[in-house]
Amino acid sequence: MDCQSLVGKDFGKAHVMETEDVTGPITLASSDAFTPGHGITTATPFCRVRAVIKPTADSDIHMEAWLPPPSAWNGKYQSIGNGGFAGIIVYRPMAWALESGYAVSSTDAGHSGEMSDSSWIYGHPEKVVDLGWRAVHETAVASKALVAVYYGRSPAHSYFNGCSSGGREGLMEAQRFPTDYDGIVAGAPANYWVQAQTATIGYIQYISAAPGNWLSGEKLSLVNKASLAACHGAEGVLDDPGHCKFDPATLLCKKGQTEACLTQPEVVAMKLLYKDLYDAKGKIVYPGLSPGDEAFWAWSFGPAENRGTGSVSAPFAIGLYQAMVFQNPNWDFRSFQLERDLPIGLASDNIKAVSAENPDLSAFKAAGGRLLHYHGYNDPGIPARASILYYNSVLEKMGGVGAVDSFYRLFLGTGMRHCGMGPGPNALGGTFALQSPSRDPDHDLIAALAHWVEDGVAPNQITATKYADDDPAKGIAAQRPWCAYPKVAYYIGQGARNKASSYACSLPKQ
């Protein structure tokens, strides 16, 4: 079908507002966390479709679909997830998918705003449902219908690819709509939304209580160096952060010592960040952070003058409790009490709409779906152990590894931060872990997922890359395999530490 002839037509619940036949290089700007400030440029021609979906009177879901020419189409469809509170269509991974030959779409999840903005939530419960699950599902239905009409045939396979809130969206799709996608890449999923922000509220309550309760950048670097030394880190990366038993109390200042040590309040702050959060009944609420990259924790925590311009966790946590839980923009995080307020959050209809905690993936498995779940151990925003928590809940629900391994695998990247970057190998075929057009299943998440779905070859390990100065144009600085959990990539004792061949996947060393 001709690109322009799509205007005014309906596909699923989506109404096409406008189209653009892009024939030459185009640069697209987006303020999402995955697209650089200068925008993303693609030279691949495509039919750009903008549509709106209004499943309720208060819904206003915007989506874009990019359709390569029939001669360049690989016969498949890919959907791209969001980040934070969404509000933006994410262009960079859309361009990667397009350049790999996919018909690709993404949505703003039902509202317009920055990813950290929660102000739109007040008085709009249907928009929260759109954010939680409806927008991504309806975009999938509409996109596949659009693809079928434009190319004259349905996509042979459909994939979802998201990280952070996009990872949550991927898990939500597997849980609620198991036939939407043949395969899902879910990275660093924010699936325990209220629990995660509860833990953050606890951190910032302590950190903000007194000026000496947080660490300077110099002190964080001191802790970082000590944790690497305690757990045999090499070149700034731990082999196995999950089994590192570093205790920051070893840095407590001795009598008369004032430098290169931690005060008692600083030790408490660090222990609070490492420690799992439990309720009064002894049930885990949310896991703590893993050691190995403490110098970067200013990105998420601490007073404004110490956090740096990239800090995100505190305003996100406060915004979620203000807007989603209490619907009160004047709610003060200092008033928070775990045993009183967490149950209120868990019972909130808004939180129920966005949480993706259900461990029963039996319908997704029965539909032939495949789930590739990944998380960076150095993630300061969403602890990697939250992904382990969810993975283990699926094992418990569905009968153990033997019942799960055939369709669901978890990969943990040591040295990788939130959705990419970090001191260790963190790029899966491109600059970020999300995906890029490498099309190599040994190095690329979507390619590995497609190889699993289409050829029946399950990934046992995927090789991550660290580029010099995080710039692919400057060449490869290091590579390391990521192993299917619970296996860990350990250095074999010989060979260069920056070579993937110097590591082997094995069960954790106790």
- Which range, of 198-212, 303-317, 451-465, averages the lowest pLDDT? 303-317
* pLDDT, mean of residues 247-264: 95
Question: Binning pLDDT at 50, 70 and 90, where does residue 236 land?
Answer: very high
Pairing between β-strand 183-187 and β-strand 370-376 as defined by DSSP bridges? parallel
Which one is catalytic: 62, 418, 443, 451? Answer: 418
Q: What is the pLDDT of residue 170?
A: 98
Q: For residue range 31-42, list pLDDT tens digits in order.
A: 777 777 778 889
pLDDT of 376 over the 80 cut: yes
If you ran DSSP here, which 8-state letter would residue 56 be given? S
**Quick check: 64 and 53 in contact, CB under 8 A?**
no
Say which CATH topology domain 158-191+356-489 has.
Answer: Rossmann fold (3.40.50)
Helix (H, G, I), strand (E, B) or coil at 394: helix
Q: For residue range 479-504, list pLDDT tens digits in order.
A: 999 999 999 999 999 999 999 999 99
Q: What is the pLDDT of residue 309?
A: 34
- For 359-377, b/e burial (b = at least 16 CB within 10 A) is bebeebbebebbbbbbbbb
pLDDT of 138 over the 70 cut: yes
What are the structure tokens assigned to 258, written together? 């004032």
Listed in order, strand segments (DSSP E) in 164-242 are: 183-187
Distance linking the first and last C-alpha atoms of the chain = 60
| Helical segments of 231-361, H only | 264-274, 304-307, 313-320, 338-347, 349-354
Percent of the chain with pLDDT over 70: 95
Query: Element (H or E) spanning 169, and its range?
Result: helix 165-176
Q: What is the pLDDT of residue 429?
A: 53
Q: What is the pLDDT of residue 431?
A: 41
Which one is catalytic: 117, 180, 379, 444? Answer: 379
Q: What is the pLDDT of residue 311?
A: 53
Average pLDDT, the chain: 92
Evaluated on CA atoms 12, 17, 23, 28, the torsion sign reads negative
Question: Binning pLDDT at 50, 70 and 90, where does residue 29 land?
Answer: confident
| Helical segments of 25-164, H only | 92-99, 125-129, 135-151
Q: For residue range 38-92, list pLDDT tens digits in order.
A: 788 899 999 999 999 999 999 999 999 999 999 999 999 999 999 999 999 989 8
pLDDT of 434 over the 50 cut: no
Q: What is the pLDDT of residue 39?
A: 83
Which one is catalytic: 164, 165, 438, 502? Answer: 164
Q: What is the pLDDT of residue 510?
A: 65
* pLDDT, mean of residues 417-446: 72
Active site residue 379: yes
Greater confidence, 86 or 472? 86
pLDDT of 210 over the 50 cut: yes
**DSSP string spanning 316-342?**
HHHHHIIIIIS--TT--GGG--HHHHH
pLDDT of 430 over the 50 cut: no
Domain boundaries, the chain: 1-155, 158-191+356-489, 195-352
What are the structure tokens assigned to 376, written together? 């960076």
